[in-house]
Amino acid sequence: MTVNTLPSADLDLEVLLAHKETIADGVVRLVFRHPAGDQLPPWAPGAHVDLLLRPDIVRQYSLCGDPGDRSVLEVAVLRERAGRGGSAFVHDALRPGDRVRIRGPRNHFPFVPAERYLFIAGGIGITPIVPMVAAADENGADWQLLYGGRSRSSMAFAARLREKYGDRVVLWPQDEAGLPDVRGILRAAVTGTAVYCCGPERLLVAAEEACAVLPDVALHLERFSAKEITGAAAGFDVELTRSGLTLTVPADRSILEVAEDAGVPVLSSCREGVCGTCETPVLAGVPDHRDSLLTGEERAANETMMICVSRSCGRKLVLDL
Ligand code: FES
């Protein structure tokens, strides 16, 4: 995981929106270039960038273009009807020629080498999967993509993927075929398959439950929204070694908020445990992990934590901040 040790200035870049087009119902594709035509930062399949749309609007979007083409960065954005304004801003206000600050790229959904892949995408969850499919195909891996959506017209990249890869891509429009049997599909997965899943929460939960009883199948998930946070919160102390401060975090506030109030420079973006921007090294104490990102292994290692949502199991935590 990328850890929160870089000052934000090292990650910020202004880019130019060179192209914007509608590619499916409620989905626009954005192509960004460097204003001076320079190369853009390198990235690998699974990476995302933060778009700093306005001072109060920062959103994460998966990169869906070709990592080999450093002249552009591409994202696709679904208009979220019940959203908080980020996607509406992208759809309604952002125009070609506008300059936008980006942060990143970061990658919390890395594409690992495997002989066999099963990709499962729901809706706009197809975006990080598009470059993964291309990489798997280029590497000569055995792969299949199951791509579900409300209807064909709502499924971004569907026609292009079918045209390019044929039967390896199974399209599953809900209005024609109902909901896919994710559990059944995963039960049939061959030993050693790497499963990559991105989409709505119910799809991710189905994949998690199915893979829990398949020890030889490695599941990789990316969440776009936070898992429900459960468990009561209690107050605790946090020592920030770089800043030389010890602060009290009350039950109703996050470490991030308390650190910001104390003037500690700390990166953040989603503030709900989804993006990984606030990931911070843990030096002592046991975190109560409440994010939607770290794997079970990473949680058990207790080397880092997302300070926007995670808390402390004991009276004190010591952080490298
Ligand atoms: Fe996104 Fe903490 S700010 S995980």
Rounded-to-integer distance, Cα 301 and Cα 286, Å: 10
Q: H helices of 147-266, where?
A: 158-165, 174-177, 182-187, 201-212, 255-261
Cα of 52 vs centre of ligand 1, distance in Å, is 14
**Residue at token pair 């989804």:** 274
Rounded-to-integer distance, Cα 184 and Cα 189, Å: 9
Ligand 1 atom showing the smallest separation from residue 269 Cα:
3
Cα of 34 vs centre of ligand 1, distance in Å, is 26
Ligand 1 atom showing the smallest separation from residue 268 Cα:
3
Choose among 52, 102, 110: nearest CA to 73. 102
pLDDT at position 184 = 86
Amino acid at 23: I
Is the Cβ atom of 274 under 6 angstroms away from ligand 1? yes
Q: Does domain 12-106 have CATH number 2.40.50.140?
A: no
- Output the CA angle 303-202-189, nearest 5 degrees: 80
Cα of 288 vs centre of ligand 1, distance in Å, is 15
State which of 225, 270, 305 you would mutate to test the pocket of ligand 1, scoring each by most atoms of that ligand within 8 A of its C-beta.
270
Ligand 1 atom showing the smallest separation from residue 271 Cα:
3
> Where do the CATH 3.40.50.80 domains begin and end in the chain?
116-222
- Output the CA angle 56-59-60, nearest 5 degrees: 155
Is the Cβ atom of 308 under 6 angstroms away from ligand 1? yes
Is the Cβ atom of 271 under 6 angstroms away from ligand 1? yes
Arch. (CATH architecture) of 116-222? 3-Layer(aba) Sandwich (3.40)
Cα of 279 vs centre of ligand 1, distance in Å, is 7
Distance set, CA 118 to CA 18, 134, 217, 301 (Å): 33, 13, 10, 28
Rounded-to-integer distance, Cα 92 and Cα 317, Å: 44
Q: How many CA atoms lie within 13 A of 21 on its CB side?
A: 7
Rounded-to-integer distance, Cα 50 and Cα 63, Å: 10
Cα of 305 vs centre of ligand 1, distance in Å, is 10
Is the Cβ atom of 277 under 6 angstroms away from ligand 1? yes
Is the Cβ atom of 268 under 6 angstroms away from ligand 1? yes
- CATH no. of 236-319: 3.10.20.30
Rounded-to-integer distance, Cα 267 and Cα 249, Å: 18
Cα of 159 vs centre of ligand 1, distance in Å, is 34
pLDDT at position 231 = 65
Rounded-to-integer distance, Cα 191 and Cα 214, Å: 8
Rounded-to-integer distance, Cα 252 and Cα 319, Å: 20
Cα of 277 vs centre of ligand 1, distance in Å, is 5
Is the Cβ atom of 29 under 6 angstroms away from ligand 1? no
Is the Cβ atom of 238 under 6 angstroms away from ligand 1? no
Is the Cβ atom of 305 under 6 angstroms away from ligand 1? no
Residues β-bridged to residue 119: 145, 196
Ligand 1 atom showing the smallest separation from residue 306 Cα:
2
Ligand 1 atom showing the smallest separation from residue 274 Cα:
4
Rounded-to-integer distance, Cα 52 and Cα 60, Å: 9
Q: How many CA atoms lie within 13 A of 160 on its CB side?
A: 13
Cα of 3 vs centre of ligand 1, distance in Å, is 11
Cα of 126 vs centre of ligand 1, distance in Å, is 22
pLDDT at position 263 = 94
Cα of 28 vs centre of ligand 1, distance in Å, is 25
Positions in the chain whose pLDDT score sits under 50: 1-10
* Secondary structure of residue 21 in the 3-state scheme: strand
What is the DSSP track for 39-65?
A: PPPP--TT-EEEEEEETTEEEEEE--S
> Where do the CATH 2.40.30.10 domains begin and end in the chain?
12-106
CB atoms within 10 A of CB 283: 14
> Where do the CATH 3.10.20.30 domains begin and end in the chain?
236-319
